[in-house]
Structure 1
Amino acid sequence: MLLIALATLASLATIAVLFSVLRAVRVHEPPAPVTHVRHERRRAHPAARDAREAIALVGDALAATHNPRALVPLILEVVTEATGARGAQMLHGGVEVGWFGEAGGRTRPLTLDLASENSDSDTKLLLYPPARGFDVETQKLAEWVAAQAGIALENARLHEEVRRQATTDELTNLVNRRRFIEALETELERAKMFDSPLSVILADLDDFKRINDDHGHHGGDRVLKSFGQLLRAQVRDFDVAARLGGEEFAILLPQTTAEAAAVVAARTRDTLAASPMAVSDDATVRLSASFGIAESSPALTTDELLRRADDALYAAKRAGKNRYVVDATAGVS
């Protein structure tokens, strides 16, 4: 909550009067060529020489979003408009992360540091001057804009960190129960809309209490963390692996039948069986896990799908553990 408060206060410091500055700007990752010219030429705007006009322009633009990726094009456009520059370029660690207008060429740019007082980020803003160059007042304005942009970027980083903490399990770095349910609800709607399959796997480490009893909670935490890494390695980029709590985990598999999900569960079980888990720097244990699998259908709600996967999981436990069971209604034996 403290991070949220700090981020909100810092945001309010940059807000002035309303001015809309949302237009398409190219942002990309590759190293910068010598010269860039934007294909969609920006409309000619006079430089915002009046300080109040510039403050209004900058303040609203920087308050428009807390997404760091969305802030980059906004900063580039607004600083170009405010100073009358030909174009602007942003570098992070020496690598270009965005540009606007005409960036590059033979003209020496005005280089400004975007690091705020609370950040040591190596981010720089390069402004390419018009033919007449920048006068002293415009350079001061550019420095002020850069300072505000640095605050906004740090602000966005704080908001992103708060958002990540709210949706990520701290121990395993998998998504938490809250985020998993949100993703499941979204994917269920998508599956219904496109009539595509979707499956859920619930996984529970067998006899995990024994690990805590024999090796302490620190040893148990090491096992949970290792299993989280193992689980992540078994899924595709668009699948969602989560820790729901304790030793219970889940995998959301869009565009996947129960039969295909069973292959994932079997592979995960076999990989776990072949992977000793460290409980200390000089001790390892071998573990097994049980898995329950359920496939969606148009009539199923989120709770019903999870209940079916949970019933299948406990059927696997009752059958002797270290196995997977597919919900019988999925039509897979």
Structure 2
Amino acid sequence: MAEFKTEAPAEPTADSAGADIPISRKGKIWLMQSAGAALLIAGWAYFALPHFGSAQFFLDSLVFCVFGTYAFIAAYNARRETVTLEKKLRYSLIRRNMHLESMTTRDDLTHLFSRRHLFDRFERELQTAKASGRALSIVVIDLNGMEQINTSHGHEVGDRVLAAFGRFLADQARGSDVLARIDGDEFAVLMPDADERAAEAAVTRLLTALEKGQLFEEDDLSLKTTASIGKSGYPWEADSVDQIISSARDSMSAHKREQSALVAAAGGAPADADAG
């Protein structure tokens, strides 16, 4: 089963609060601490030294030691809390950016990749395949009967059918496959390092799995769907993304015509989805 997981950055901890403070900031902090220590020593010299050897000297020195210790502890804790807060804000910004990126790369309904991400990834994978001499395939799938489902059962049920098909694809895919919804009821599976034989095996696997079971079962509603599937790839069909996609869609259209011809020969209406 293909996984679609985005790892979030690890939560910042207080123990590592100062680990990534820029050197220039560390220098400023050190200067401020040094200045504070100098002022404390100067104050002690001004108030305590004139009474050297007396009880007043001991008392003033004790007061300055306690005050200095408290000041340094308070300054250290304040810096620690400030740096930790900055790290948490940075972490929140990273998470937000990841969420925004996910919104542009994922399809909200099926949680598969978006059309834009698929084509960006396709370009990169094709360049890699050409450079390494490996094959690359894509399978394009049109889920049949969605118009009838939307008309008969409503668009909410239609959306749940599409989401169910997204899960179905994830169950059938290899871990390295890139799954995407590229149009309303059109999906694609990008298969790195897969030749024509592997693409044909993937098509057969998908059609067999669809034929065996109900794609959507909820309450008293059960829907069985069919799909028209086409395949293409590099180098066995074309050598550019546009040509490969066009070839795969032509293959898908040919499969759809074959399905319609079989239904017509059997004397039935060209219905692609059955409800039970």
Identity score, percent: 30
State the Cα distance separating 1:266 from its structure 2 match: 1.1
1:256 counterpart = 2:198 = no
CA distance 1:308–1:70, change in 2 (3 Å): farther
Work out which of the two has the higher radius of gyration on C-alpha atoms and give 1 or 2: 2
Query: 1:174 & 1:76 partners in 2: Cα distance?
Result: 39
> In structure 1, what is the Cα distance between the partners aligned to 2:19 and 2:260?
59
SS state at 2:94 partner = helix
Number of matched residues?
208
Q: 1:185 is aligned with what amino acid?
A: E
CA distance change for structure 1 residues 152 and 204 in 2, over 3 Å: closer, same or farther? same
Q: Secondary structure at the match of 2:9?
A: helix
**Inter-partner Cα distance in structure 1 for 2:123 and 2:17:** 35
1:209 deviates by 1.2
What are the Cα deviations for residues 139-184 of structure 1, in whole angstroms up to 9, with x where unaligned?
1101000111111111111110000001100000000100000010
Please state whether the residue corresponding to 1:315 is helix, strand or coil.
helix
Q: Give the 3-state SS of the residue equivalent to 2:182 in structure 1.
A: strand
TM-score, reference length from structure 2: 0.69
Deviations along 1:8-61, whole A, 9 cap, x unmatched? Answer: xxxxxxxxxxxxxxxxxxxxxxxxxxxxxxxxxxxxxxxxxxxxxxxxxxxxxx
- Cα distance between partner residues in 1 of 2:203 and 2:92: 41
Instruction: In structure 2, list runs of 5 or more residues that go unmatched.
Output: 1-6, 28-71, 263-276
Q: Take 1:139 and 1:321, find their aligned partners in 2: how far apart are those partners? A: 74
For residues 172 and 18 of structure 2, the distance between their equivalents in structure 1, rounded to whole angstroms, comes to 40
User: Separation in 2 of the partners of 1:156 and 1:150?
Assistant: 10
Q: Does the CA contact (< 8 Å) of 1:83 and 1:141 recur in 2?
A: no
**Separation in structure 2 between the aligned mates of residue 296 and residue 135 of structure 1, nearest angstrom:** 66
Counterpart in 2 of 1:78?
A: 20
Contact 1:289 1:321 (C-alpha < 8 Å) held by counterparts: no
CA distance in 1, matches of 2:18, 2:143: 50
For 2:19 and 2:194, the matched residues in 1 are separated by: 43
Match of 2:215 among 277, 283, 287: 277
Considering fraction of residues, name the structure with more strand.
1
- Is the contact between residue 231 and residue 241 of structure 1 (CA under 8 Å) also seen in structure 2? yes
* Larger relative contact order, structure 1 or 2 (CA cutoff 8 Å, min sep 6): 2
**1:180 alignment counterpart:** 118
Amino acid corresponding to residue 105 of structure 2 in structure 1: T
The verdict on how the C-alpha distance between 1:174 and 1:321 changes in structure 2, with shifts beyond 3 A counting, is farther
Residue of structure 2 aligned with 1:301, choices 237, 240, 255? 240
SS at match of 1:164: helix
The aligned counterpart of 1:8 is: none
Equivalent residue number for residue 93 of structure 2? 155
Root-mean-square deviation over aligned CA pairs: 2.9
Q: Distance in 1 between matches of 2:208 and 2:10?
A: 42
CA contact (8 A) 2:18 2:83 kept: no
- Aligned twin of 1:310: 249
| Ranges in structure 1 where 5+ consecutive residues have no aligned partner | 1-66, 85-133, 324-333
CA shift in 2, pair 1:292/1:224, >3 Å: same
